[in-house]
Chain A
Amino acid sequence: MVEKCIITFFSMHDVFKTEKILKERNIDIKTIPVPRTISADCGICIEFDIKNRDRVHDILVSNKIEFERLCPYEK
């Protein structure tokens, strides 16, 4: 099992905004459909390595990005 984190959002706008900001900071991410085991308001989410969890969380907060959840996810 690979340990990842995913961020789910209310709006697709916030997905792409977050994608842009995280890519600018060289964090390895993937934009993927929300796994069926997790429900979310918006159908796509951002997946990244769990080792970056705290850093990503800080970036989201400092950029005032609205997100639904940031949670670990086992692939």
Chain B
Amino acid sequence: MIYVDNSATSYPKPKSVLETVINVISNIGGSPGRSAYRTAIELGRIVFETREKIASLFNIKNSNRLIFTSGTTESINTVLFGLLNSGDKVLTTSMEHNSVMRPLRFMEKNCGIKLDIVRCSPEGEIDLDLFSNKLKNNVKLVVINHGSNVIGTIAPLDEICKSVKKYNSLILVDAAQTAGIYPIDVEKIKLDFLACSGHKGLLGPQGTGCLYIRDNISIRPLKFGGTGSNSESDEQPEFLPDRFESGTLNAPGIAGLGAGVSFVLEQGIEKIFEHGTLLVKRFLDGILSNKKIKVYGPKKPDKMLPIISFTIDGYDSAAVAHRLSDEFDICTRVGLHCSPWAHKTIGTFPSGTIRVSFGYSNTTEDVDNILKALNVILNKNKL
């Protein structure tokens, strides 16, 4: 199998992730953060260590500002529903994923927020001057997709955050595609909120994600309930991380995530990003020469994530993807990738694209085999 759907979820995971999850489920039962017997304390310690590792990856000074969630979607919803009130203005871009757009649309219709969407270029690039100008309108929150899950464009967070701070707005960064793959330093660029998945670039299991909330920022929790702390009170605690972690944590998942993050820290973000660049360059060199294949996005291997969207003249994308899977066991994702806005921006709405998204486990051999498979499909009669 050639798995190139890492933007959806990464596969395979490092062996240490599997072993950790199995060890936790088999040998360390119990409820982390709730009980005082040996295995519960051990599990609590493992959860804490994972928090510390992720904090070190993103240069978060105080790991209690790093909340565990079920994924980027929950993290984003926590910020939007926790921060915004009627009358607040939100500025975002036309490259956003539905995990951003859907809650914002709901809040626009039902909660009185005002939404301003900055149009990006077909390569997914933001017009920074236009963006800065719009910030003058008393914007409460900026929401930015750090890396496009459709075409791999990386947003220039340094410049964007400078503008945001100049106009005293807050910024939420959707780092679903960049966490573990591209450097993120929350202190350096003064991020207010960072949302990411545990199961993509951080190489953890599905059902894990993180939310970073800057010190001195207070928002409403999305979920209220038992936290194993302050239990005589029937009110949600104010202190983090407990405030945002009601209910039983996905401890086996978080432990596995810890092993994934250890792997990322050992390999180093630079090495991981360079590997992606190598594969994207090789793939682009292969398909750009084929006139029938239209490639979308920046096409700059060292300045983008290893994510390529393409369509083929005269071929149904779904049929091509099906043949890639059925005849060659190549796993791609076809369609709108939960980002109708991104596809409208690049001009592929509503039919969508075939997306190939490389991971750290993919090899140059995988790239060559995908190119060979496409050649076979294109040399036969059109579907």
Interface residues of chain A, those whose CB is within 8 Å of chain B, are 10-17, 19-20, 31-34, 41-44, 66
Contacts and interface: CB of A to CB of B under 8 A. Distances in A.
Interface stretch (B30-38, B98-106, B333-341): B30-38
Nearest to A14: B64
B44 A12 contact: yes
Interface stretch (B87-95, B153-161, B234-242, B269-277): B234-242
A42 B229 contact: yes
Contacts of A14: 64
17 contacts: A10-B229, A10-B230, A11-B229, A11-B237, A11-B239, A12-B32, A12-B229, A13-B48, A13-B242, A16-B44, A17-B48, A20-B48, A20-B52, A31-B41, A41-B229, A41-B231, A44-B36
A32 B41 CA distance: 9
Q: Name the 4 nearest CB pairs between A and B, nearest first.
A: A33-B36, A16-B48, A12-B33, A43-B36
B48 A34 contact: no
A43 B63 CA distance: 21
B241 A10 contact: no
Given A31-B41, A41-B230, A42-B229, A13 B34 contact: no
B207 interface: no
Interface of B: 32-37, 41, 44-45, 48-49, 51-52, 63-64, 228-232, 237, 239-242
A12 B228 contact: yes
Given A11-B242, A16-B44, A16-B49, 11 more contacts: A10-B239, A11-B229, A11-B237, A12-B32, A12-B33, A13-B48, A14-B64, A33-B37, A34-B36, A43-B34, A44-B44
B237 A10 contact: yes
A40 to B, nearest CB: 10
A43 B237 CA distance: 15
Contact of B241 (A11, A33, A34, A41): A11
B45 A16 contact: yes
Nearest to B44: A12
Contacts of B32: 12
Nearest to A9: B229
Nearest to A15: B44
A6 B231 CA distance: 20
A12 B31 CA distance: 12
